[in-house]
Each structure stands twice: as structure tokens, then as C-alpha cells.
């Protein structure tokens, strides 16, 4: 059973402070504004919904690509619409803003984990960030205890 003591309450308060501070960052405020603009654009949301329908249809039929020419055409249409969505200014701005916020969260996660132990690896999910190497087969993992 978890014992509630003064340290646990201090940690809880520190978490609340970090969360409140996080939402006051300019990058986070910008992300929230950009996301609202993205969601408010009904024409863009319709294009995204149509793209998702095409993708679902293609996923259901892709095993028959070699036998059915209409599946090949569906794939071409899917790629074309994906490019159009990727080139959309609001989609591009949202993705860039998401990466900025992800970088902030990654840095924060690394600081928190290193306060516990410098050997804790944090997978940030960022494309250029270091990734943990795979475990070797049959070998024991070395640990610093």
C-alpha cells in the first residue's frame, strides 16, 4: 500500500507546477492556437476524412493489387491526395509545431529521468534523436547498480 507522506505531496505539487509552467511556454501556446485553426478548417477536415476513407479502402484491397487494376488506381489516388495534404500550409504548420512541443517534452523527460538515474534511457521519438540499441540475443544486460 502506498504511504502518503510529505515527500509524495511535494512531488505532486512539483508535477502540478511543471504542468502549469509547460502550458505557459510560447511554443505550447502557439501549438494550441495552430491546432485550433487546423481543426476549425472544415474543408481541410473533409479532405482528411476523404483521405482516410481512401486509405481504409486501399488497406482492405491491397492484397489484390496484382490482380485488380482499380486497386492500383486507388493507390495512385491515395498518394496524390497524401501529397496535397502534406503540402497544405495548416498541416505543415501543425506538424512543425508538434515537433517543437515534442522536443520540449523530450528534454523535460530526460531531465526528470536523469534526476532519478543517469542510466535511464528516454526514447523521445524524435527522428534525429539517439535510439537505444537492441538487446543482444542470449546475453545478459549490464547494469550499474
The pairs formed by 36-42 with CB atoms below 8 angstroms and a separation of 24 or more are: 37/90, 38/90, 38/91, 38/93, 38/94, 41/90
68 three-class SS? coil
Please report which confidence band the pLDDT of residue 144 belongs to, taking 50, 70 and 90 as the band edges: very low
Euclidean distance between CA atoms 115 and 107, whole angstroms: 12
Please report which confidence band the pLDDT of residue 113 belongs to, taking 50, 70 and 90 as the band edges: confident
Full-model pTM? 0.73
Could you read off the pLDDT of 51-96 as tens digits, one per residue? 999 999 999 998 988 888 899 999 999 999 999 999 999 999 999 9
**Predicted pLDDT at 145:** 43
Instruction: Rank 10-14, 77-81, 108-112 by mean pLDDT and report only the highest.
Output: 77-81
Please report which confidence band the pLDDT of residue 130 belongs to, taking 50, 70 and 90 as the band edges: low
As a whole number, mean pLDDT of residues 14-38 equals 94
Q: Which of 11, 10, 24, 14 is nearest to 104 (CA)?
A: 24
**Predicted pLDDT at 132:** 64
Please report which confidence band the pLDDT of residue 117 belongs to, taking 50, 70 and 90 as the band edges: confident
Residue 31, classified by CB atoms within 10 Å of its CB into exposed (0-12), middle (13-18) or buried (19+), is buried
Please report which confidence band the pLDDT of residue 33 belongs to, taking 50, 70 and 90 as the band edges: very high
Query: Residue 26: pLDDT above 90?
Result: yes
CA 6 to each of CA 1, 10, 20, 79: distance values in angstroms, whole numbers, following the listed order: 16, 6, 21, 56
Euclidean distance between CA atoms 125 and 106, whole angstroms: 8
Write down the number of H helices and E strands in the chain: 5, 0
Query: Residue 139: pLDDT above 50?
Result: no
Q: Which of 132, 105, 129 is nearest to 119 (CA)?
A: 132
C-beta separation of 74 from 97 below 8 A: no
Amino acid at each position: 500500500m502506498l504511504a502518503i507522506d510529505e515527500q509524495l505531496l511535494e512531488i505532486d505539487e512539483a508535477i502540478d507546477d511543471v504542468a502549469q509552467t509547460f502550458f505557459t511556454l510560447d511554443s505550447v501556446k502557439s501549438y494550441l492556437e495552430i491546432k485550433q485553426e487546423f481543426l476549425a478548417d472544415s474543408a481541410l477536415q473533409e479532405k482528411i476524412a476523404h483521405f482516410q476513407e481512401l486509405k481504409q479502402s486501399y488497406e482492405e484491397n491491397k492484397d489484390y493489387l496484382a490482380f485488380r487494376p482499380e486497386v492500383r488506381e486507388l493507390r495512385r489516388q491515395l498518394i496524390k491526395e497524401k501529397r496535397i495534404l502534406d503540402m497544405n500550409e495548416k498541416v505543415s504548420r501543425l506538424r512543425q509545431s508538434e515537433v517543437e512541443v515534442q522536443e520540449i517534452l523530450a528534454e523535460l523527460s530526460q531531465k526528470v529521468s536523469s534526476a532519478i538515474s543517469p542510466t535511464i534511457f528516454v526514447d523521445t521519438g524524435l527522428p534525429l534523436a539517439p535510439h537505444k540499441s537492441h538487446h543482444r540475443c542470449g546475453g545478459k544486460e549490464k547494469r550499474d547498480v
